Amino acid sequence: MKKLLILFASGMAVASTAMADAAPTNVAQIVERESGGSIITTHKKTKKVYFVNAQSRVSREVIETARKTYEESIRTPIDIADGKFDFRNPKIEGELSLYIIDDDDMPMSLLAPEGRWAFVNVAPLAKGRGEKSQFLEARVRKEIARIAGILFGGIGSSYRGNLMSIATSPDDLDKRDSEKIPADVMMRSSGFLLGLGVRPFRLTTYRKACEEGWAPAPTNDVQRAIWDKVHAVPTTPMKIEFDPKKGR
């Protein structure tokens, strides 16, 4: 009898564990089937901010990586463009422009918040360790994140030893592990940009996007079923009964 109780208890424990492991998966599958999964879109009426690539020493892919990393951090769209930088009369793209330049006569970075622009200068970053491409590219990504954080209203962080700390030389950037920005900077940046009309990404479901008429083409069977159902032509005509009182 004692052995039976032990076996029963063990069986219940295994069953409970199995149910606990299976339940979230089943719920997730149900939600996925009903919604078609999550979809992210940009608000139609959002204004824009830009990273403007005005140099060729580092590849555009490096700038794009920095842009994507910051965009995902603050969940707000950042565009990228190619252009030229004129210190005396910089052309501002969108609401704010962060230029990436290459000029031996300019400092590592410069901010002009009243002019709605800033720049990160590749030339000083390419000295010393920066002569090696892996160090240069890492420095560029980190300095872009740091200066974007300030230009986009993040200013500083309450977390010690983070990327937003003062960098007096490219060597200071080498001491930072990555280009990730602190949580408090993320919050301030997204809030500041919203005040300029740059709206955060909208997260919704594929079904809702179909119902609103802007969903992209389906990519799997679940989305295809939702797409076909939402866009199906009614099989029975609509019946409207005549009301003599309303016809008068």
User: Is there a single domain that holds both residue 68 and residue 139?
Assistant: yes
Q: Which residue has the higher pLDDT, 6 or 37?
A: 37
| Structural domain containing residue 147 | 50-195
pLDDT at 124 over 70: yes
User: What H or E segment, with its residue span, contains residue 190?
Assistant: helix 183-195
User: Is there a single domain that holds both residue 149 and residue 111?
Assistant: yes
User: Is there a single domain that holds both residue 165 and residue 208?
Assistant: no
Local confidence band at 119 (pLDDT 50, 70, 90 cut-offs):
very high
pLDDT at 125 over 60: yes
Residue 36 included in any domain? no
Give the residue-averaged pLDDT of 156-161.
Answer: 70
Walk across the sheet containing 97-101 and list its strands. Answer: 79-82, 50-53, 97-101, 117-121, 109-112
What backbone torsions phi and psi does residue 70 show, to the nearest 5 degrees? -70, -40
**Cα–chain center distance at 41:** 11
Instruction: Specify the pLDDT at position 68.
Output: 93
This model's pTM is above 0.75 = no
- Per-residue pLDDT of 178-197, as tens digits, reads 677 778 888 889 899 999 99
pLDDT at 87 over 70: yes
- Per-residue pLDDT of 134-151, as tens digits, reads 999 999 999 999 999 999
d(C-alpha 142, C-alpha 186), whole Å: 15
Residue 108 included in any domain? yes
The string of DSSP letters for 41-83 reads E--TT----EEEE---SS-HHHHHHHHHHHHHHHTS--EEEE-
d(C-alpha 120, C-alpha 143), whole Å: 7
Average pLDDT in the chain: 81
Taking the CA atoms of the chain, what radius of gyration do you get in angstroms? 27
Q: Which residue has the higher pLDDT, 175 or 23?
A: 175
Q: Residue 116, exposed/middle/buried by CB under 10 A (0-12, 13-18, 19+)?
A: middle
Cβ–Cβ under 8 Å, residues 51 and 63? yes
Residue 243 included in any domain? no
Local confidence band at 238 (pLDDT 50, 70, 90 cut-offs):
low
Give the residue-averaged pLDDT of 37-57.
Answer: 90
- How many structural domains comprise the chain? 2
β 38-41/202-205 pair status: antiparallel
Instruction: Specify the pLDDT at position 20.
Output: 39
Local confidence band at 212 (pLDDT 50, 70, 90 cut-offs):
confident
Closest by Cα among 192, 191, 190, 195 to 71: 190
Residue 244 included in any domain? no
Q: Residue 82: which CATH number? A: 3.40.390.10
Instruction: Specify the pLDDT at position 211.
Output: 85
